[in-house]
Structure 1
Amino acid sequence: MPSDAGFQCAGCGEWNETIVDESAGRRQTYVEDCQVCCKPNVLRIEWDEWQEAYRIESELES
């Protein structure tokens, strides 16, 4: 089941809306391009039980 989420681009700082595929597990890592500047961001996604939401950290792909 998909879940709406978002991340701040590590390159330009703009907010990006994304969808997390919950069937892929509570911890995920993948690359998604910024919707504004097109730079590839490595997203590290983890389920936060306290917030009951996915937490996403981003860094530029090297």
Structure 2
Amino acid sequence: MQPFAEAAIQQCPYCGEEVEVDVDPIGASTERYIEDCPVCCRPWAVHVSREEYAVNVLLGREDD
């Protein structure tokens, strides 16, 4: 059985729209990847950190 993705509501650092970012609850303790905003199509730097009972997601500008 595959774990389900958790949704985190974040604000796009470019257009300011609230967006839903799906992340896997299981994986490396920290992770960084690039994903495009579904509203303005600009690239985010997605930072994910996983703790025992929590998954934290932060969005940054890819060009920073």
| Higher Cα Rg, which structure | 2
- Aligned residue for 1:11, secondary structure, equals coil
Equivalent pairs counted in the alignment come to 60
Corresponding position: 1:32 with 2:54: no
The list of structure 1 runs, each at least 4 consecutive aligned residues, that deviate by more than 3 angstroms after superposition, is none
- Aligned residue for 2:26, secondary structure, equals helix
Per the normalisation by structure 1, the TM-score is: 0.74
Offset at 1:48? 5.4
Q: 1: CA distance between counterparts of 2:24 and 2:9?
A: 13
Offset at 1:18? 1.8
Structure that is richer in strand per residue:
1
Per the normalisation by structure 2, the TM-score is: 0.72
Q: Given that residues 12 and 19 in structure 2 are in contact (C-alpha distance below 8 angstroms), is that contact kept between their aligned partners in structure 1?
A: yes
Q: Given that residues 46 and 60 in structure 2 are in contact (C-alpha distance below 8 angstroms), is that contact kept between their aligned partners in structure 1?
A: yes
2:32 counterpart letter in structure 1: T
> RMSD between aligned alpha carbons?
1.8
Q: Given that residues 10 and 19 in structure 2 are in contact (C-alpha distance below 8 angstroms), is that contact kept between their aligned partners in structure 1?
A: yes
Q: 2: CA distance between counterparts of 1:8 and 1:28?
A: 19
Structure that is richer in helix per residue:
1
